[in-house]
Amino acid sequence: MFDFTLDATDGAARAGTLVLPHGTVRTPAFMPVGTHGAVRGLHPDEVRRAGAQIVLGNTYHLHLRPGEDVVRQLGGIQRFMHWSGPVLTDSGGFQVFSLEGLRKITEDAVTFTSHVDGSLRALSPEKATEIQWALGSDIAMQFDHVVPGQATRELAEEGMERSLRWLERCRVRHEALQDGGPACQALWPIVQGGTHEDLRRRSLEGILTRGDWSGIAVGGLSVGEPKPVMHRILEHLAPILPPDRPRYLMGVGFPDDLLEGIARGVDLFDCVAATRNGRHGSAWTATGKVNVRGATLKLSGAPLDAECDCETCRTFSRGYLRHLFVVEEILGLRLVSIHNIRFLVRLGEEARRRILEGTFNDWSRAWLARYHGGEAA
Amino acid sequence: MFDFTLDATDGAARAGTLVLPHGTVRTPAFMPVGTHGAVRGLHPDEVRRAGAQIVLGNTYHLHLRPGEDVVRQLGGIQRFMHWSGPVLTDSGGFQVFSLEGLRKITEDAVTFTSHVDGSLRALSPEKATEIQWALGSDIAMQFDHVVPGQATRELAEEGMERSLRWLERCRVRHEALQDGGPACQALWPIVQGGTHEDLRRRSLEGILTRGDWSGIAVGGLSVGEPKPVMHRILEHLAPILPPDRPRYLMGVGFPDDLLEGIARGVDLFDCVAATRNGRHGSAWTATGKVNVRGATLKLSGAPLDAECDCETCRTFSRGYLRHLFVVEEILGLRLVSIHNIRFLVRLGEEARRRILEGTFNDWSRAWLARYHGGEAA
């Protein structure tokens, strides 16, 4: 359980194998987001056939609806949503800190107003740990204090220090819940510290003195800071993160972000962009984005992406997909979401193959050049 | 092509086999409606796995968007929507006559305002036939003059007589399009005449003198008249319709309507209720309707319908389905639509089995009593 093997490295890029209670994840890997216990618009069988190895569930959303007790009574998150593979749950930290004006932070907890019914709720390190335990995910995340990408050094330091103190509280609660039993859920810490390298280093050092974690996440990136800043922080962390532990870059990303992250040693990614873009009719291809509503697609019998092996591209024409969006038929959202998820999953698979071959950097550079300069844009 | 074999009868109920260019349909059978070239919310593979043998396409909707030329250029309706089985298209008559206040009827054509962009359009017998020819359905319907269920005798007679004249024009245009080539599309007439038995009889007689049709539809029912009136008209038509031709009751129905129709000799049905109810979280079971949003489902690990073999009932709990509707996750609409379609398809399959056994009437009576008095209501 919770075993990670580094299969190969190529520069800072890594190919690994992560063994979890509900299955094995070959990295680098993209994790689709199942906010409410369903990857938006998709059947779990479609997510599986798109090649996803692990999905994410949102503690904040599942706590509000249907409530972790309902999920637990219906057999846990996997059985509830008919996903037999591994599940990672976030802690709700990102969501409650995003509720600007609707939440109050104290050292004890974050009090917030539910976006569903306006009721007053609280999440604390203990509560977030208990919820994730009830959900039954393979990997639970620590409750952390997330600050915006433009936060002052003072605020970034405050969030980082508080996240360390909260990690300790999460760990204590998690161990109590585990109660000496077999390890069925891992708790992963989150490196914070905003855009400041020294704060990031102190965060990581603090994490490593507080336990022997089976994986480590990097949070508080892709939250408004410029892309080069994110890359700089990842480059700073890559050599000091324990090489024998998987690294999860939270909330990232788009296709280019995946390759940039992999090049800087990241193993796991999650992002809602695949399904959100899918719902808006925006599809990724190797040569850039395609607007599925575009008039030029009207009479096209070609697949959305001729290089793609997803169910959508193997089955339907661009002309048909465009028609579905024009008439607002929800099958369209689903078909483009399937494509976008497969696109990111396949990018992870291809990156892994290149890392194992030792050709990642050349391939990645060529891929990015084609994507950014692509004819499809 | 267009061969119909009567496999068995049981009272007025019939079991038949209809051979069409794109496949064989065992009757009685429910045909899901694919308004815009997609059964609302569903993937064609889901429709197929639900056991549907034939789907319906709407000429009015497909003419407006994407236009029949687009469908033709993309390979015809089957290839366009990735449905390899038979397709029946309606003529648009029902839709344009429903556009009360937005349409003008003359002997030549119905002029109407498009609900999409307000443009002025016209459908005539010739135009409706040409559109369906371009779409490439297995069965095209005549363009008819539909009157409401509460129409006066005078209006019902006018609509019936006009429908006969229009049938003749459809036939001439259809033969010209066929141009002596192999029969790849059938044209079916529609019996009109409102709630008046003598008008219905005259309509049928007029139809039979105008050609040798491979199937006959009954239109203008389930359009506002009381249920017993619909049953009376069907009972009147059953003995005078040619027994060796399939009979299609247009726009019907709900589960009980299917059994009542089959008992009166109907072979084919179509209705949007399965998917419309599915989208609203209303599911059919053998003991009546279930409101999927109901609070009593919250903690239920049971399937939606314990007697159902559909993908939804085999996979997901009532508690999960309820949760999907509460959080407005579109997967929910789809899962209940799959169940409702399978429910009607299965009802047709079971009715056929009972007719072949000669036990239809007892079974049907017991089924209806349980459905109407059921514990689930």
What percentage of chain A reaches a pLDDT higher than 90? 94
**Residue A179 designated active-site:** no
Chain B closest CA to A40's CA: distance in Å?
Answer: 7
Q: How many helices (H) and strands (E) does chain A have?
A: 15, 18
**Short-list B329, B311, B308, CA closest to B320:** B329
B146 and B250 in contact (C-beta within 8 Å)? no
A27 and A267 in contact (C-beta within 8 Å)? yes
User: Cβ A36–B324 below 8 Å, yes or no?
Assistant: yes
Q: Which residues contact B223 (CB under 8 A, 6 or more apart)?
A: B146, B147, B148, B149, B251
Tell me how far apart the alpha carbons of residues B316 and A83 are, in angstroms, rounded to a whole number: 11
| B10, B144, B270, B305: the active-site residue | B270
User: Cβ A326–B37 below 8 Å, yes or no?
Assistant: no
Sign of CA pseudo-dihedral B326, B327, B333, B335: negative
Report pLDDT for A375: 54
Report pLDDT for B377: 40
Q: What is the mean pLDDT of chain A?
A: 96
Which chain A positions have a beta carbon within 8 Å of B335's beta carbon?
A: 43
pLDDT-derived band at A1 (thresholds 50, 70, 90) equals: confident
| B10, B90, B267, B305: the active-site residue | B90
**Short-list A165, A152, A146, A23, CA closest to A83:** A23
B41 and B330 in contact (C-beta within 8 Å)? yes
Report pLDDT for B99: 87
Report pLDDT for B253: 87
Residue A107 has pLDDT above 90, yes or no: yes
**Residue A257 designated active-site:** no
Q: Closest residue of B to A328, CA-based?
A: B36
How distant, in Å, are the alpha carbons of A329, B201, B316 from that of A316?
A: 14, 46, 28
User: Cβ B298–A70 below 8 Å, yes or no?
Assistant: yes
Q: Closest residue of A to B64, CA-based?
A: A327
Question: CA-based angle B251:A330:B20, to the nearest 5?
Answer: 45
What percentage of chain A reaches a pLDDT higher than 70? 99
| Residue of B33, B40, B43 to mutate, interface with A, max A Cβ within 10 Å | B43
Chain B closest CA to A245's CA: distance in Å?
Answer: 35
Tell me how far apart the alpha carbons of residues A72 and A86 are, in angstroms, rounded to a whole number: 16
Residues A135-192 pLDDT 10s: 999 999 999 999 998 899 999 999 999 999 999 999 999 999 999 988 899 999 999 9
Residue A377 has pLDDT above 50, yes or no: no
Tell me how far apart the alpha carbons of residues A141 and A118 are, in angstroms, rounded to a whole number: 26
| Residue of A43, A63, A333 to mutate, interface with B, max B Cβ within 10 Å | A43
- pTM (predicted TM-score): 0.97
| A10, A90, A144, A267: the active-site residue | A90
Task: List residues bridging with B268 in a β-sheet.
Answer: B29, B248
How distant, in Å, are the alpha carbons of A13, A99, A256, B203 from that of A342?
A: 21, 31, 15, 55
Q: Which residues contact B294 (CB under 8 A, 6 or more apart)?
A: B322
Residues A235-249 pLDDT 10s: 999 999 999 999 999
Nearest CB neighbour to A301, from listed B37, B41, B75: B75
Q: Closest residue of B to A45, CA-based?
A: B315
Per-residue pLDDT of chain B (377 residues; tens, 9 = 90+): 799 999 999 999 999 999 999 999 999 999 999 999 999 999 999 999 999 999 999 999 999 999 999 999 999 999 999 999 999 999 999 999 988 888 999 999 999 999 899 999 999 999 999 999 999 999 999 999 999 988 999 999 999 999 999 999 999 999 999 999 888 999 999 999 999 999 999 999 999 999 999 999 999 999 999 999 999 999 999 999 999 999 999 999 899 999 999 999 999 999 999 999 999 999 999 999 999 999 999 999 999 999 999 999 999 999 999 999 999 999 999 999 999 999 999 999 999 999 999 999 999 999 999 999 975 44
